[in-house]
Amino acid sequence: MPGSLEQSILPLDHLALRGHDDGDALVLREGVLSWKDLRSRVSRLAAWLAREVPEKGARVATWAAKGELTCLMPLAAARAGLVHVPVNPLLKHAQVAHILGDSGSVLLIATPARLSTLNAADVPGGCRLLGEGEALQTAADLGGDMLPSEADPDDLAAILYTSGSTGRPKGVMLSHANMWLGAQSVADYLGLAADDRTLAVLPLSFDYGQNQLLSTWFAGGCVIPLDYLMPRDVVKAAGRHGVTTLAAVPPLWVQVCELDWPAETAAKLRRLTNSGGALTVDLVRRLRALFPQARLFPMYGLTEAFRSTYLDPDLVDSHPTSMGKAIPHAEILVINDLGEVAEDGQEGELVHCGPLVAQGYWQDAARTAERYRPAPAASRYGGIAVWSGDRVKRAADGLLYFVGRRDAMIKSAGNRISPQEIEEAALGTGLVAEAVALGVADERLGQAVHLVVRAAPSSLDASEELPRKLMQELPNFMQPKVIHWRDAMPIGPNGKIDRTGLAAQISAETAA
């Protein structure tokens, strides 16, 4: 296998075997789990899951805040021969219903408060619901033990749902090998070690967030999961737990830089990592000034292939706008419009090849065929590659630079948001006849959601009612920052709404 690391690929649950027995593995609100405790809890939860869901390859979903369940399930489900489907705890009933139905999950473990928001129509037949506390307590009461699995590295281990520019979220299929090699790769280039302590502030339902756990555990280190209410909570937790590693997205970094960090806390941070959007030159400088001893790792990734590139921290000051180069186990090619490797300085599509490429979209052959296509002839890996749709350029020194996206995805506060999902929710209220969701440049969010609508002829007081209805149907990160009301939508030459013209119009209004 080409690449800088030549180590055996093991089933994902073997990550529980990495650390020293007496070392800290997981810091929960209820107490600290040593590595010996972690191994015991994973084994016990896996044994219970195998009894509850004996069918190998069945999907089991979790919908809860960060805690013992959500942290242990990636390993326990893998050991039990099941496929874990983590659901973003910020999602609401309509999105959860889609994920449950699409994945065919046979069990949803969630907090009782979240379960209470589901209607009967939201839960597909054959899917059982179970409270988070009840599941953990039952597993503890029954006891039991399950030996580490001997799964094939190519077996499916997880389905992570990610939004596309059109349609509802699609499930990306990740194998044991995808996740093991992803953890190994990141642990390697970040230089993680057994004495590292990672503050996990990102959602565990995202590949970037889940890798906070997996890469730290690959190195034998300790994870401190945190669901923060205010950015200051991050500062407090970092100081309280002696955090050495912090991963975030640009909007959180903006907030982090606005806070007063105790010198002792800032000095303990060894590394900062960023993905989910590019860092501005100004933000890079602010981070470097606030954490002069920490190594800053700007990174680029996509769920379909996990992570593609990172910028060497030694180059951040001199090349702050670069995406860097390929991470270990990834081969990154820039392919021009003729299907050939682009020349230096020539724009092309970023194509990701190698063993980090996921297995496609769950039960969606059409969309899989669009994104997952044969690797370019120049690839040393061959096989299937992810054609990202992102336009990049490669400089003479090999560093990559982002140019733009082909699709209409909105990237807000590190979240990839489908415009169509927001538009469908707006139309579903019956208050509007037409709806267009756009991403408008925003200093704090990267992009802010703006919704342009034309009221339905029969609707009264729609301007007051629409925001209230959207709050019921969409998670907070999808809520429009601004709703623009129009008597008529601009129409392009093809008879469709002129989205490009509308976006330019809204951007101009916003900037005025």
Closest CA to 353 of 301, 303, 305, 404: 305
How confident is the model at residue 165, as a pLDDT? 55
How confident is the model at residue 82, as a pLDDT? 98
Q: Is residue 432 part of a domain?
A: yes
Predicted model pTM: 0.86
How confident is the model at residue 2, as a pLDDT? 38
Q: Is residue 121 part of a domain?
A: yes
Q: Which of 134, 151, 168 is the last residue before a domain boundary?
A: 151
Helix 462-473 vs helix 419-428: crossing angle, to nearest 10: 120
Closest CA to 107 of 81, 128, 126: 128
Block residue for tokens 């490429």: 357
CA 405, 205, 272, 244: dihedral to nearest 10 degrees?
-170
Q: Which of 127, 151, 175 is the last residue before a domain boundary?
A: 151
pLDDT score of 421 more than 90: no
Residue 346: how many CB atoms within 10 A of its CB? 13
Q: Which of 102, 134, 151 is the last residue before a domain boundary?
A: 151
Retrieve residue 110's tokens. 């969630």
How confident is the model at residue 1, as a pLDDT? 37
Is residue 300 within 8 A of residue 402, CB to CB? The reply is yes
What is the extent of the structural domain holding 417?
410-511
Instruction: Say which range, 134-148, 169-183, 253-267, 396-410, has the weakest mean pLDDT.
Output: 396-410
Q: Is residue 234 part of a domain?
A: no
**pLDDT tens sequence across 80-96:** 999 999 999 999 999 99
Which CATH number is 495's domain given?
A: 3.30.300.30
Tell me the average pLDDT across 266-289: 91
Which CATH number is 49's domain given?
A: 3.40.50.980
Q: Is residue 39 part of a domain?
A: yes
pLDDT bucket at 493, cuts 50 / 70 / 90: low
499 Cβ contact partners less than 8 Å away, ≥ 6 residues apart: 408, 436, 438
pLDDT score of 385 more than 50: yes
Q: Is residue 177 part of a domain?
A: no
Instruction: Say which range, 113-127, 158-172, 194-208, has the weakest mean pLDDT.
Output: 158-172
How many domains, the chain? 2
Q: Is residue 126 part of a domain?
A: yes
pLDDT score of 440 more than 80: yes
Which H, E and C letters describe 467-480, residue by residue? HHHHHHHCCHHHCC
Task: Please give the Cα distance from 83 to 66 (Å, whole number).
Answer: 19
Tell me the average pLDDT across 482-488: 93
Average pLDDT, the chain: 93
Retrieve residue 200's tokens. 């996990």
**pLDDT tens sequence across 442-484:** 988 999 999 999 898 876 788 889 999 999 999 999 999 999 9
Burial track 92-107 (b if 16+ CB lie within 10 A, e otherwise): bbbbbbbbbebbbbbb
Single-letter amino acid, residue 95: Q
**pLDDT tens sequence across 326-368:** 999 999 999 999 999 999 999 999 999 999 999 999 999 999 9
Closest CA to 184 of 225, 159, 216: 216
pLDDT score of 197 more than 70: yes
How confident is the model at residue 494, as a pLDDT? 58
Tell me the average pLDDT across 227-255: 93
Block residue for tokens 């179970």: 130
**pLDDT tens sequence across 116-134:** 999 999 999 999 999 999 9
pLDDT score of 5 more than 50: no
Q: Does 281 or 227 have the greater pLDDT score?
A: 227
Tell me the average pLDDT across 250-279: 91
Tell me the average pLDDT across 240-261: 92
pLDDT score of 206 more than 80: yes
How confident is the model at residue 250, as a pLDDT? 86
What is the full DSSP assignment across 420-482?
Answer: HHHHHHHHHTTSEEEEEEEEEEETTTEEEEEEEEEE-TT-SSHHHHHHHHHHHHS-GGGS-SE
Single-letter amino acid, residue 54: P
What is the full DSSP assignment across 122-159?
Answer: GS-TT-EEEEHHHHHHHHHHH----PPP---TTSEEEE
Burial class (CB within 10 angstroms; exposed 0-12, middle 13-18, buried 19+) of 146: buried
How confident is the model at residue 3, as a pLDDT? 39
Q: Is residue 140 part of a domain?
A: yes
Residue percentage of the chain with pLDDT more than 70: 96
Task: Please give the Cα distance from 79 to 60 (Å, whole number).
Answer: 13
Is residue 79 within 8 A of residue 44, CB to CB? The reply is no
223 Cβ contact partners less than 8 Å away, ≥ 6 residues apart: 25, 26, 27, 71, 197, 198, 200, 212, 213, 216, 217
Q: Is residue 470 part of a domain?
A: yes
470 Cβ contact partners less than 8 Å away, ≥ 6 residues apart: 422, 425, 426, 429, 479, 480
Q: Does 69 or 277 have the greater pLDDT score?
A: 69
